[in-house]
Amino acid sequence: MKEDIAPVEGGGVTTPRGFLASGVACGIKAGGEKDLSLICSERAGHVVGLFTENRVPAAPVVLSRRHAALGNGRAVVINSGNANACTGPAGMANATEMVNRVAAGIGCPPEEVFVCSTGRIGIPLPMAKVRKGIDLALGRLSPQGGKDAALGILTTDTYPKTMGLRVSLGEQELFLGGMAKGAGMIDPRLATMLCVVTTDADVSDEAFTLAARRSVAESFNRISIDGDCSTNDTVLVFANGLARNRTLTPESGEFRLFQSALSLLMGRLARMIVEDGEGISKVVEVLVQGAADEEDAERAARAVAHSLLVKCSWYGEDPNWGRILAAIGYSGASVDGNRVDIFYNGVQAVAAGTRARTSARLVQEAVRLPQFTILIDLGIGSGHCRLLTSDLTERYVRLNKGE
C-alpha cells in the first residue's frame, strides 16, 4: 500500500485538480504579514466540517457549521490576527459579509462558502481592511497560491504546515492536499487550530463523511499542547470529484486506500502542530494500553498529557513517574495501582505500580531526548489510546502573558 500513496513535493491545498488559492496582507496584522487567505474549487463538491466543542463558539464557527450541514462546498475565506469571537451580533454580521463577498466574487450561493478566523478574542474585525483583502485575494486566485494561503492563516506558528499526496488507483490517480495552523490553545476535541483539506476524489457522501471523521478522530483529536479548547477550531474537507475516478464507497477496496491517505495527511499536519507548539522543547507520545475500554484509555492519556506537573518534569528532564501515576489515578479511568507498568522509550520505569529494577540513568536518558514515547499499561483490559503532546516551558508563559 505504501507505494500507492506518495508525497507531492511542495504540496498543499492546490495539489488536487481544480483548486485555487491565494494569501494576501490586508492590514489586520500590524507587521504587514499575510493575514487573509482564500481557497476555492472550480466547481462545488462535497464538504465535511468538524468544529470546536467549546460552548462559546466564534461567529465564523456558528456560520460555517450551518453551511456544513448542507453538505456542499466551493470555497473558504480565512483571516488571521483576529478571532472574531465574543463579538456579539456584529461579529455574525461581519462573518456573513465575508461569506457573501466571496460568493459574489466567484459566482456561487453563499451557503457554499465557509469562513474561519483566528487570532485575539473579543476585538471587532476591521471590516474595511477585510473587504479590500477579500477583493485582492479574489484577484490572485491561482493553482500556485497554496503557499501564500498557508502563510496567511498563521498566528504564533513559526512555519506554515502543508502537505500533498498522490494516490494511485490502478491506472488512475487522485490527489489530496492540506494546510493547517496551530501552536497554542491546542486541545481540539472536535488547537487554536484550523485545517483545510482538499481532494479531487470522486467519493460518495457517506464514504467522505466516514473518512473525514475517522481521520480527525485519529489526528487532531489526539493532540494536546496546553489542554485549552479554542473558540475557533475548524477542520474543513472538500472533495470536487475532478479526478473522475469510479465513485468511492465504504465497501470498495479503493476507499480503504483513500482512508489511509487522508489519515496520513491529517496525522502529519497534526504532528506539525505539536512540533511547532508554543514554547515547547519536547514532543511526547503518550500510549495507554490495557485499559478497561477505549474511553478509559483516553481519560488516562489526557490526564497525563494535561498535567502541568508532568509537563514541567519533562521539560526538566526528570522522569518523575510518580506524577504520571498520580494523573492516572485522578483521571476517572478504572485503575488498579498494583497493575500499572510504565515505560520510557521501551525502558521500564514502573513495574506493578512500584519502581522497576531498571537503571535510573537509562530512564533519565530517555527524557533528555527531544522526542520520546511513554507507554502506560493499566493491566486491566484491551482499551488503548495514542495521544501526542509536549512539555511546558517558561517560554510558553512569556508568549501568553497578554502583552
Segment 364-373, tens digit of pLDDT: 999 999 999 9
**Alpha carbon distance 143, 70 (integer Å):** 27
pLDDT at 401: 64
Q: What residue ranges define each of the domains in the chain, with the CATH number in brackets?
A: 2-275 (3.60.70.12), 283-399 (3.10.20.340)
In this predicted model, what pLDDT tens digit does every residue of 70-94 receive, in sequence order? 999 999 999 999 999 999 999 999 9
pLDDT at 113: 98
pLDDT at 157: 87
pLDDT at 227: 57
pTM for the structure as a whole = 0.89
Query: What are the catalytic residues?
Result: 192
Residue corresponding to grid cell 513559526? 158
In this predicted model, what pLDDT tens digit does every residue of 157-210 receive, in sequence order? 889 999 999 999 888 899 999 999 976 544 445 434 799 999 999 999 999 999
pLDDT at 1: 45
pLDDT at 279: 74
pLDDT at 393: 85
In this predicted model, what pLDDT tens digit does every residue of 99-152 receive, in sequence order? 999 999 999 999 999 999 998 899 999 999 999 999 999 999 999 999 999 999
Mean pLDDT (the chain) is 92
Provide mean pLDDT across the span 376-391. Answer: 96
**Alpha carbon distance 329, 296 (integer Å):** 11
pLDDT at 188: 47
Q: Do residues 38 and 136 touch, judged by C-beta distance below 8 A?
A: no
pLDDT at 171: 83
**Alpha carbon distance 61, 65 (integer Å):** 6
**Alpha carbon distance 126, 299 (integer Å):** 41
